[in-house]
Structure 1
Amino acid sequence: MQPTKGKPAAINSKTPQYLVTLAATLLVFAGGTTIGWSSPALHRYDEKNSTLPIHPSTAESSWISSLLTVGALIGALPSGYLADLFGRKRAMQLVAVPLLVSWVMIVFAQTVTLVCAARLIAGISLGAICTLVPMYINEISEDSIRGILGSSFQLLVTSGIVFEYFIGAVMSYNTIAYSAAIVPVIFLFAFCGCPETPTYLLKKGRREEAARSLQSLRGIGSDISKEMQGLEYDLEAKSGPRMSFIKALSLRENRMGVIISLGMMFCQQFSGINIVVFYASKIFNAAGSTLDPQVCTILVGLAQVVATLISLFLVDTAGRKILLQISAASMVVLLSVLGFYFKLKDGGEDVSSLSLVPIVALVSYVMLFGIGFGPIPWMMTGEVLPDDIKSICSGLAVSTNWTLAFVLTLSFQSVTDTIGNAGTYWSLAAINALSFIFITFVVVETKGKSLQEIQQELAGKKSQPDQLV
């Protein structure tokens, strides 16, 4: 198909992909608000002059916070099945509804039990969001910008968290919930005109719809014939009787995809990020900082947003692997510095001259996590998992991530009481060193490669693009 003279801007236009991704990640922003809600909400519960009908105990506050992660690990597992049953688009629209319901429950809740139920429901939606949105973005993106579009997931999560921190610092309890409830409504309106993914439509035998979807994503004047041919070739190569999940793992590319996706989720959580984020104000206080706890929380959130923005512009140029290596190596150094500081402080040494060290180390740690281990594991899960097991394994990877988050945040205080602050941070540094080794020797670079080429590399073969012509 020849382009119309005088209209070259329409050829291979990436604008539709950016707009569709923006609409899709509004759901991710909504998920981020559920994560950010607990910090300002619990602060409101604890205020002495609070007129709220709810006054949770310390144990109940802990459950209000942790039930979100419990719900997320529950919601992640069946979301891949929903994506195959209803389609990626429809499944995303469905999970926005219970998210909205959870905010309505929080506004009208008169008991702690109802708030806990709302948090569990929100968590179930959050787990599904973490599975469905990266899958959708991967399947609509062309190879050259798949990294920047995939990184938008983490950017919108952290933006949603920081948004809720800011609102929570200046608005009333109910206004915090109202502001968050608006987001899934906006998503439902913005996303209704977006297409289903071409990959899903081809899997369902709806070729004409798949072609229309791909054309709308690439621009009206673009030539999609080669890309359609590539998608159909990949689908035909995997056609035939559907093999069991266990048998599918006998294939090297499938096995490696699962190892990489689960391994990166393990590395992400054992980097210690949720511990640092959830206990940021306590770390600042332990270091002798006089900053308001809410200000500390906002600083940490902003550091994540800035770092993810940096990653957004580097991931398709520098590559995924080098950013992960920089992230892991930097966190080893910064966590070691934190451990050394607390070793001196808890040992009775005068550390007044080093008061800025833990603050700088903490903010730098959050930023360097955000450059690599924040966005890339979510994005690469969709890249390395083959279509035939992607739905199951994406849910498994996300569920693993939230399970580890729950276990680590729940056990952090007891671990710290047992081995001390220094021992805790040094242990996390050691785990990050192992993560560096895993990234270096196991994870493959996916920058600029088609999903078919990635599968061939995982299978131990050289890519053969001539087969697609």
Structure 2
Amino acid sequence: MSGAENVQDSVGAHNSSQDQVTLSQPPIDRSMAIASLGPINPLPTDKSSDPEEQQIELSYINEIDSKQDEIATEIVPVNDPKLKKVRQRLWTTVLSAIVACIPFLLVGCTLGFPSGALLDLTDLEERLEYKLTREQADLFGALGYIGAVFGGPIAGWISDRMGRKPALMLVSIPYLIGYLMITYARFASDPVVFKTILLIGRFFSGVGLGWSSLAVVVYVAEISPAKFRGRIGSVLQIFLGFGVVLIYALSSIDDFRYFDQSLILVGFVALFTILMPFFCETPRWLLAHGQKDRAIAVLKFLRGPKFDSSSELNMIKVNIASTPKLKTKQTLKEFTKGNVMVPMGLAILLAVFLQAGGLNAIVAFSALILQAAGVPSFRQIALYGTGCTRLILNIIAVFLVDLVGRKFLLFISSIGTFLGTTMLGVHFYVTDPSFCSSMNSTNSSQSEAMEVCNSHLAPLAITAIVVYNIGFSIGWGPVIWLLLGELLPLQVRGIGNGIAVFVMWGVAAIVVGTYASYAEAVQPWFVWWTYSVVNFVSLLFVVLCLFETKGKSLEDIQTRFDKKYGQFKLCFS
């Protein structure tokens, strides 16, 4: 039985007490009540010549008017001093968020899985014909992100039509298929069959990665109160960071191979599948689909049975009342409107900058990069330099994201990622064979000169990766998922986030799939300085294009876009 269902029996009592409170108050003026609930999304003032569009707008106006009448008669007064003394309960929201974030632990594991697995799969000395080539290794890394490209839109469609909770629960299917295939591929008697099963398994685990990136973000954003959404939402990045640490730690254990690691991940999928049915649907989705009693019960479960959540309930109602239920064609037309197009553009650019700055090249190939840089004990350094650094900073970011704000953290973060990639480029430049040979004052061979360069400059590579991970984890890591859940309006949030996730993992697939061949074609130092340019541009984007969302409700953020861009449409819309 779910948490929401556990409190269903209290709904009647809640409604009864609500009626008593309402009777004890003075009569409510309809216009004042609606005004107190917040602004309604403005309709465009230009008159369309398209009869179909005029009919849609007319039905939209009638729908809003009828819903405003309904809301005005259902207002729950919020000035009862007895209710105001009760503080909202947080532990149920936090517990729900923690369970919902288990797939994000698997996101971290899936991102970091190639780092150790490829060391095994490219070094199968006992079965040489099963060994992955460089191109196959690149494909193995990229397939996780290619799968994620498909997972995001699937999750968005299910999230809007079946609910946030079903979309979250169904993520277990691709994860389970993917990691079971990777686990048991080793029993294949033919090298071609082995590699095929392995690559298909990696693809399905990637579908789970993209699916989680949307379903978890939307679910956590919609169950969290505005005041604490930043801190609760940062749990996402903590779980992701812990997932990276976990997979790096497992890969650093002697004789613990890639198939042992994947079997551990199957266990986490099973744990999530058992726990998630006991938790609730989001109140926003329930109200949007006419399930008012269940929405009230969920709010009582999340905020506490004695806390007055009527203000939050009323704000959600007004937001839904001003948001028409759109068919596919109408939804696509929404993306031509300024108040949807602008936040959609911001979400897409955030997704591009997150991935194009070298993030997943470091996460997926951390051990291989350190090995190429001549760093001894590269598996352990990858664990501590990438995994542990990110996890510690993710925990710190939980307390900063609502304290100093999203924009400031992204600003500091962009500086850190720029410095980290620049330093790593410097390391590869000065350890380039031609540069080392030119700086060689002795008559030693090129290989001896390279060994001297690597031994002296290995700390620079370690420092660069640590600086990058500090910068990323303090801002881009936790903030990106919050902003994706905050920026887009309700009527396109599921599909819009699906598009952003599609772009995010599409860019990641390009970065990871081309890293080795790109580095071979133009030298590694040029690759990392390319990422530096991207990180510098992301710094300008943060300063010039983003506004602060700290402490604002989802409805307040949407109203800002409505006021500034609500009258703007593309010329062909």
Q: Same fold (TM over 0.5)?
A: yes
**Which amino acid in 1 is paired with 2:342?**
M
> Higher mean Cα deviation, 430-439 or 340-349?
340-349
Q: Which has the larger radius of gyration?
A: 2
Offset at 1:281? 2.9
Is 1:219 aligned with 2:273?
no
Q: Deviations over 1:156-212 (max 9, x none)?
A: 122112212212332344432221111111112221111100011011111111111
Rounded Cα–Cα distance in structure 2 between residues aligned with 1:55 and 1:423: 29
- SS for the counterpart of 1:459 is helix
Q: 2:400 aligns with which of 314, 325, 336?
A: 314
Q: 1:405 aligns with which of 479, 497, 508?
A: 508
Q: 2:241 aligns with which of 158, 172, 185?
A: 158
Is 1:302 aligned with 2:388?
yes
- What is the alpha-carbon root mean square deviation over aligned residues? 2.5
Aligned to 2:50: none
Is 1:276 aligned with 2:366?
no
Aligned to 1:17: 93
- SS for the counterpart of 1:244 is helix
Aligned to 1:179: 264
Rounded Cα–Cα distance in structure 2 between residues aligned with 1:425 and 1:112: 30
Rounded Cα–Cα distance in structure 2 between residues aligned with 1:142 and 1:64: 40
1:138 and 1:146 in contact (8 A); partners too: yes
Aligned to 2:161: 85
Would the alpha carbon gap of residues 40 and 331 (structure 1) be closer, same or farther in structure 2, given more than 3 Å must change?
closer
Rounded Cα–Cα distance in structure 1 between residues aligned with 2:144 and 2:384: 20
**Which amino acid in 1 is paired with 2:235?**
S
- SS for the counterpart of 1:238 is coil
Aligned to 1:235: 320
**Which amino acid in 1 is paired with 2:247?**
E
Q: How does 1:104-253 map to 2 (within 5 A)?
A: 104-109=180-185, 110=188, 111-170=194-253, 171-239=256-324, 244-253=330-339
Q: 1:452 aligns with which of 543, 546, 555?
A: 555
Would the alpha carbon gap of residues 173 and 353 (structure 1) be closer, same or farther in structure 2, given more than 3 Å must change?
closer
- SS for the counterpart of 2:174 is helix
Rounded Cα–Cα distance in structure 2 between residues aligned with 1:266 and 1:60: 25
1:26 and 1:156 in contact (8 A); partners too: yes
1:162 and 1:302 in contact (8 A); partners too: yes
Aligned to 2:13: none
Aligned to 2:28: none
- SS for the counterpart of 2:278 is coil
Offset at 1:241? 5.8
Offset at 1:32? 2.6
Rounded Cα–Cα distance in structure 2 between residues aligned with 1:315 and 1:256: 23
Rounded Cα–Cα distance in structure 2 between residues aligned with 1:160 and 1:175: 15
- TM-score, normalisation: structure 1: 0.91
Q: 2:375 aligns with which of 289, 294, 298?
A: 289
Q: Deviations over 1:341-394 (max 9, x none)?
A: 333332224756544222112111112111111121122011000011111111
Rounded Cα–Cα distance in structure 2 between residues aligned with 1:52 and 1:4: 74
> Higher mean Cα deviation, 240-249 or 265-274?
240-249
2:184 and 2:259 in contact (8 A); partners too: no
Aligned to 1:443: 546
Aligned to 1:267: 353
Q: Percent identity?
A: 27
Would the alpha carbon gap of residues 203 and 439 (structure 1) be closer, same or farther in structure 2, given more than 3 Å must change?
same
Would the alpha carbon gap of residues 52 and 304 (structure 1) be closer, same or farther in structure 2, given more than 3 Å must change?
farther
**Which amino acid in 2 is paired with 1:309?**
I
Q: 1:361 aligns with which of 464, 476, 489?
A: 464
Aligned to 1:255: 341
- TM-score, normalisation: structure 2: 0.75
> Higher mean Cα deviation, 223-232 or 251-260?
251-260
Offset at 1:422? 3.0
- SS for the counterpart of 1:13 is coil
Rounded Cα–Cα distance in structure 1 between residues aligned with 2:113 and 2:369: 20
> Higher mean Cα deviation, 242-251 or 137-146?
242-251
Offset at 1:444? 1.6
> Higher mean Cα deviation, 300-309 or 239-248?
239-248
Aligned to 2:5: none
Would the alpha carbon gap of residues 169 and 77 (structure 1) be closer, same or farther in structure 2, given more than 3 Å must change?
same
Q: How does 1:382-393 map to 2 (within 5 A)?
A: 382-393=485-496
- SS for the counterpart of 2:377 is coil
Rounded Cα–Cα distance in structure 2 between residues aligned with 1:38 and 1:93: 25
Aligned to 2:66: none
**Which amino acid in 1 is paired with 2:219?**
Y
**Which amino acid in 2 is paired with 1:161?**
V
Rounded Cα–Cα distance in structure 2 between residues aligned with 1:353 and 1:114: 42
Q: How does 1:63-78 map to 2 (within 5 A)?
A: 63-78=139-154
Q: Which runs of 5+ in 1 are unaligned?
A: 463-469
Q: 1:415 aligns with which of 503, 518, 523?
A: 518
Is 1:329 aligned with 2:415?
yes
Rounded Cα–Cα distance in structure 2 between residues aligned with 1:240 and 1:113: 44
Offset at 1:418? 3.9
1:197 and 1:210 in contact (8 A); partners too: yes
Q: Which runs of 5+ in 2 are unaligned?
A: 1-20, 22-79, 189-193, 441-452, 566-573
Would the alpha carbon gap of residues 227 and 368 (structure 1) be closer, same or farther in structure 2, given more than 3 Å must change?
same
- SS for the counterpart of 1:318 is coil
**Which amino acid in 1 is paired with 2:359?**
I
Would the alpha carbon gap of residues 334 and 122 (structure 1) be closer, same or farther in structure 2, given more than 3 Å must change?
closer
Would the alpha carbon gap of residues 367 and 3 (structure 1) be closer, same or farther in structure 2, given more than 3 Å must change?
same
Aligned to 2:10: none
2:117 and 2:258 in contact (8 A); partners too: yes
Would the alpha carbon gap of residues 78 and 163 (structure 1) be closer, same or farther in structure 2, given more than 3 Å must change?
same
